[in-house]
A and B are shown apart, each in its own frame.
Chain A
Amino acid sequence: DSGVTQTPKHLITATGQRVTLRCSPRSGDLSVYWYQQSLDQGLQFLIQYYNGEERAKGNILERFSAQQFPDLHSELNLSSLELGDSALYFCASSVNGAMGYGYTFGSGTRLTVV
């Protein structure tokens, strides 16, 4: 157990729907990162939050949004889902988000859009 908790582990939903993925960072970590891993694209950085505020944004679609709550857990919202959104979504956390000391990854949420 890495200490980063992601729920749910698996999600199957239909095109056009909206889902929320949840991440609880490791105790003491202030920074949360979201990554998407598709079969043909490797791990793609989506967005980072640090202590409740958005810190960096990657190739995140406008249909996707995220937030980090006061208790530091984070949610990634995916809407108007398309078949191509099927992927593994990873959350990672680190202590301060500024030094990149080997993020700790959660086990991921496998999203299947049918």
Chain B
Amino acid sequence: EDKVVQSPLSLVVHEGDTVTLNCSYEVTNFRSLLWYKQEKKAPTFLFMLTSSGIEKKSGRLSSILDKKELFSILNITATQTGDSAIYLCAVYTSGSRLTFGEGTQLTVNP
């Protein structure tokens, strides 16, 4: 059975801190790994990673995939209160479904 594990499950930091969120996976037929941000309702797409070692970057957020060690990290630098959300990692495998991890609840305090 495909499995995605995120850590930590929750994290509280102060504005300006840098955070690293972890995602490890055990799946058959890996195709890509995706990161989502979930605030109040719908998860919103952040990154899709398919190739190992290539960093994806968007503003203060960046992510990288290690296909040999089967994990990904999501970095957020200079955190702001608006970064408070649940960050979801998901792996796309054959059969077109996404298997999600439990998510990391990030709280950024002023």
Contact = CB atoms under 8 A, between A and B. Distances in A.
Contacts of A50: 96
Given A106-B42, A107-B42, A100 B92 contact: yes
27 contacts: A2-B42, A41-B102, A42-B101, A42-B102, A43-B43, A43-B100, A44-B100, A48-B96, A48-B97, A56-B95, A56-B96, A58-B97, A90-B43, A97-B96, A100-B34, A100-B96, A100-B98, A101-B48, A102-B45, A102-B48, A103-B45, A103-B98, A104-B45, A105-B43, A106-B42, A107-B41, A107-B42
A56 B95 CA distance: 6
Interface of A: 2, 4, 31, 33, 35, 41-45, 48, 50, 55-56, 58, 88, 90, 97-108
A4 B34 CA distance: 19
B7 interface: no
Most chain A C-beta atoms within 10 Å of own C-beta, residue among B31, B44, B100, B102: B100
Nearest to B48: A102
Given A50-B96, A103-B98, 20 more contacts: A2-B44, A33-B97, A33-B98, A42-B102, A42-B103, A43-B43, A43-B100, A45-B97, A45-B99, A56-B97, A88-B41, A90-B42, A100-B32, A100-B48, A100-B98, A102-B34, A103-B45, A105-B43, A105-B44, A107-B42
Nearest to B40: A107
Contacts, number: 60
Interface of B: 31-32, 34, 41-45, 48, 88, 90, 92, 95-103
Contacts of A55: 96
